[in-house]
Structure 1
Amino acid sequence: MRRAIDTLFGRLVVIVIGMLVLSHVAWFAIIRFERDNVQTRFAVEEAVFLVEAVRQHIANTPDQPLPPRVRVVGLESPDVPRQPDEDIPPPLQRFLEDLKDRLPDGTEVRLNEPGGPPSVWVHGAKDTGWIVVPVQPLRPPRSRDRMLVWLALIFSTAVLAALFGAWQLQNPLRGLAQAVQRFGRGQPTPPVPERGPRELRQLTHGFNQMVREVSQTENDRAVMLAGVAHDLKTPLARLRLRAEMMDDEKMRDGVVRDVDSMAHIVDQFLVFAHDRPDGSEPVPVDEQCERIVRAYRAVSPGAQPVRLNLEAGPSFVLPAATLDRLLSNLLDNAHAYGAPPVVIETRRDAKGWVLSVADHGKGIAPDDLIKASRPFVRLDPARGGSGHSGLGLAIVERLARRVGGECEIGNRAEGGLRVAMTFPFEVATQPLAERRAGPQHEERAL
Structure 2
Amino acid sequence: MLIARLMPRSLLGRLTIVMVLGVLVAQLIANLIWAQQIRQQSEREATEAAHHLGGSAASAIRFFKSLPTNYRPLLIEQLREMGGTRFYVNVNGGPVPVTPIAETELSRAVLDTVRATLREELPRLVDYRVAFAWPDGLPVSDDGVTLQDLPDDWVQHTLIVRPRPAPVLVIQAELESAGWVYLAALMPDPYFLDNADPITLDRIGLQLVTLLAVLLLSLAVVGWLTRPLAELAAAAKSFGQGARTEPVPESGSREFVQTARAFNAMQARIQRYIDDRERLFSSISHDLRTPITRLKLRTELLDDDATRADFHEDLDELELMVKGALQSVKDADIHENRTAVRLDLLIERLAADAKLAGKEVAFAGGAVTVVAKPLALKRAISNLIDNAIKYGGRAEVLLSEHGDTVELTIRDYGPGVPDEALDTLFDPYVRLEHGRQSNQGGMGLGLGIARNIIHAHGGDLLLANHPDGGFVARVLLIGEAL
Asked if these proteins are the same fold (TM beyond 0.5), I'd say yes
Give the match's secondary structure for 1:410. strand
Structure 1 partner of 2:31? 28
Q: How does 1:188-227 map to 2 (within 5 A)?
A: 191-194=247-250, 197-227=253-283
In the aligned structure 1, how far is the partner of 2:250 from the partner of 2:192? 59
The AA in structure 2 aligned to 1:26 is I
**What's the counterpart of residue 365 of structure 1?**
418
Determine the C-alpha separation between the residues in 1 that align with 2:93 and 2:304: 145
TM alignment of 1:158-177, pairs within 5 A: 158-177=214-233
- Name the aligned partner's letter for residue 5 of structure 1: M
Residue number in structure 2 paired with 1:443? none
* 1:91 aligns with one of 84, 87, 106: 106
> Which of 142, 156, 168 is the matching residue for 1:118?
168
Q: Equivalents in 1 of 2:104, 2:320: separation in Å?
A: 97
Match of 2:211 in 1: 155
What secondary structure sits across from 1:419 in the alignment?
strand
Q: CA deviation at 1:407?
A: 1.9
1:286 aligned onto 2:347: yes
Whole-angstrom distance in 2 between the partners of 1:422 and 1:242: 50
Q: 1:63 to 1:92 in 2, by over 3 A?
A: closer
Is the partner of 1:408 in helix, strand or coil?
Answer: strand
For residue 363 of structure 1, give the secondary structure of its aligned residue in structure 2: coil
- How far residue 131 of structure 1 moved from its aligned partner, in angstroms, is 9.4
Q: 1:43 to 1:365 in 2, by over 3 A?
A: same
Give 1:255's aligned amino acid.
Answer: F
Residues 233 and 342 (structure 1), Cα distance of their counterparts in 2 relative to 1, 3 Å cut: farther
Residue 67 of structure 1, CA deviation: 1.7
Root-mean-square deviation (CA, aligned residues, Å) is 5.4
Letter in structure 1 aligned against 2:29:
A
Matching residue's letter, 1:394: G
- State the distance in 1 between where 2:204 and 2:247 align: 49
Q: Does 1:67 align with 2:67?
A: no
Q: Which amino acid aligns with 1:363?
A: G
Kindly name which structure, 1 or 2, has the bigger radius of gyration based on alpha carbons: 2
Q: Is the 8 A contact 2:383 2:447 kept in 1?
A: yes
- Provide the rounded CA distance (Å) in 1 between the counterparts of 2:104 and 2:375: 87
**Contact 1:329–1:396 (CA under 8 A) maintained in structure 2:** yes
1:396 and 2:450 are equivalent in the alignment = yes
Cα distance in 1 for residues equivalent to 2:277 and 2:303? 41
- Kindly state the Cα deviation for residue 398 of structure 1 after the two structures are TM-superposed: 1.2
Measured after TM superposition, the shift of residue 231 of structure 1 is 1.8
Residue aligning to 2:7 = 5
Check whether the contact 1:186–1:401 (CA below 8 A) recurs between aligned residues: no
SS in 1 for 2:473: strand
1:341 matched to 2:388? The reply is no
Gaps of 5+ in 1: 56-61, 82-87, 122-128, 298-304, 429-446
Provide the secondary structure at the position in 1 that maps to 2:193: coil
With structure 1 as the length reference, what TM-score do the two structures score?
0.64
Partners of 2:253 and 2:445 lie apart in 1 by 43
Determine helix, strand or coil for the equivalent of 1:364: coil
Shift of 1:307: 2.0
The CA distance in 2 between the partners of 1:332 and 1:241, in whole Å, is: 35
Distance in 2 between the 1:370 and 1:279 partners?
A: 30
Kindly state the Cα deviation for residue 269 of structure 1 after the two structures are TM-superposed.
1.9
Contact 1:285 1:323 in 2 (8 A): no
Partner residue in 1 for 2:362 = 309
- Structure 2: state its 5+ residue gaps: 60-78, 97-102, 123-127, 139-166, 172-180
Contact residue 191 and residue 208 of structure 1 kept, 8 A? yes
Give the aligned partner of residue 295 of structure 2: 239
Contact 1:342 1:357 in 2 (8 A): no
Question: 1:325-336 maps to which residues of 2 (within 5 A)?
Answer: 325-326=379-380, 329-330=383-384
Alpha-carbon distance in 2 for matches of 1:111, 1:186? 91
Which residue number in structure 2 is paired with residue 125 of structure 1? none
C-alpha change, 1:64 and 1:326, in structure 2 (3 Å) is closer
1:260 aligns with 2:316: yes
Paired letter, 2:401? D
Distance 1:281 1:267, change over 3 A: farther
Deviation at 1:341, TM superposition (A): 0.5
> How many angstroms apart in 2 are the aligned matches of 1:98 and 1:192?
74
Residue of structure 2 equivalent to 1:418? 472
**Compared with structure 1, are the counterparts of its residues 259 and 412 closer, same or farther at alpha carbon in structure 2 (3 Å cutoff)?**
farther
Query: 1:9 offset after TM fit, Å?
Result: 3.8
Work out the number of aligned pairs and report it: 399
Distance 1:211 1:63, change over 3 A: closer
Within 1, Cα distance between the matches of 2:292 and 2:254? 56
CA contact (8 A) 1:343 1:357 kept: yes
d(CA) in 2 for partners of 1:25, 1:47: 34
Q: Deviations over 1:356-412 (max 9, x none)?
A: 6554444333344234324566778x97x9787654322221122234443222223
- Does structure 2 retain, via aligned residues, the 8 Å contact 1:240–1:259? yes
Return the TM-score normalized by structure 2.
0.61
CA contact (8 A) 2:90 2:183 kept: yes
CA distance in structure 2 between the partners assigned to 1:184 and 1:366 by the alignment: 30
Q: Please say if residues 346 and 378 of structure 2, whose CA atoms lie closer than 8 Å, have aligned partners that are also in contact.
A: no
For 1:26 and 1:176, the matched residues in 2 are separated by 39
In 1, Cα distance between equivalents of 2:386 and 2:289: 21
Q: CA separation of 1:177/1:69 partners in 2, compared to 1, >3 Å: closer, same or farther? A: same
Separation (CA, whole Å) in 2 of partners of 1:118 and 1:328: 92
